[in-house]
A and B are shown apart, each in its own frame.
Chain A
Amino acid sequence: MTDEMYDEEGGPVKKFLYLNRKAPYGTIYALESLEVVLIGAAFEQDVSLLFMDDGIFQLKKGQDTKGIGMKNFSPTYRALEMYDVEKLYVDKKSMDERGLSADDLVVPVEILDAAQVADLMEDQDVILSF
């Protein structure tokens, strides 16, 4: 016997990491990633999200997009927990460079240093990069 986890259809549960490195509105990457996460949640895999570089800005509190005519999707990150996506990580160096702390973000996150980021990535079956 192994301690491998199995999903509802009997397939092994895989570890998916979504790596988010882009700011929210200048390009479509952030929104695309979020949609893939929501759709992918139906497959009940072991999902983690890592925000790095300008991707940190996706989680910034206080976004208000009325003036630019785009949808403010930052509240949706708060729904991820209900989709059983509970492992949200941010890269410490990226936070420091931007003068941001965990209190500035719309969801609770775990802050990882470079070595922890490296371990997290090594630990995955699949990494999806946005």
Chain B
Amino acid sequence: MAIEVNGKTLETDEEGYLVNLADWTEDAGAIIATTENIDMTENHWEVVNFLREYYDEYQIAPAVRVLTKAIGKKLGPEKGNSKYLYELFPYGPAKQACKIAGLPKPTGCV
């Protein structure tokens, strides 16, 4: 599978995750978001960017529980809770936000 971004074809796996991390751009993230039926707001991007930074530092996409805790630490308790994150990403913050962030599926997600 693949997606088209600004005339470039980016390879994805059968679930829509980018195959090559380095392919990601904000435009690519925006296009993946449309396939997930998500209207990206500043709050969405904040989580996506957080995930990219997390991955950059630890080389993994965090489990939901860990993501929630880490977001709480960085952005405050009103954002570090699963209600907030599921409102932004109804099908699972780790899964959907990771996909939009161009990261692999979090370890432990099936």
Contacts and interface: CB of A to CB of B under 8 A. Distances in A.
Task: Decide if A and B touch, CB cutoff 8 A.
Answer: yes
Interface of A: 35, 38-39, 41-42, 71-73, 75-76, 78-79, 82-83
Contacts of A71: 59
Interface residues of B, number: 12
Given A75-B57, A82-B69, A82-B70, A35 B107 contact: yes
B7 interface: no
Secondary structure type dominating chain A contacts: helix
Contact of A82 (B59, B66, B107, B108): B66
B85 to A, nearest CB: 16
Nearest to B63: A42
B17 to A, nearest CB: 15
Contacts of B65: 42
A117 to B, nearest CB: 28
Contacts of A82: 62, 66, 69-70
Contacts of B59: 71-73, 75-76
Contacts of A35: 107
Contacts of A73: 59
B58 A38 contact: no
Contacts of A78: 57-58
A35 B59 CA distance: 12
B12 to A, nearest CB: 19
11 contacts: A35-B107, A38-B108, A41-B63, A75-B57, A75-B58, A75-B59, A76-B59, A78-B57, A79-B60, A79-B66, A82-B69
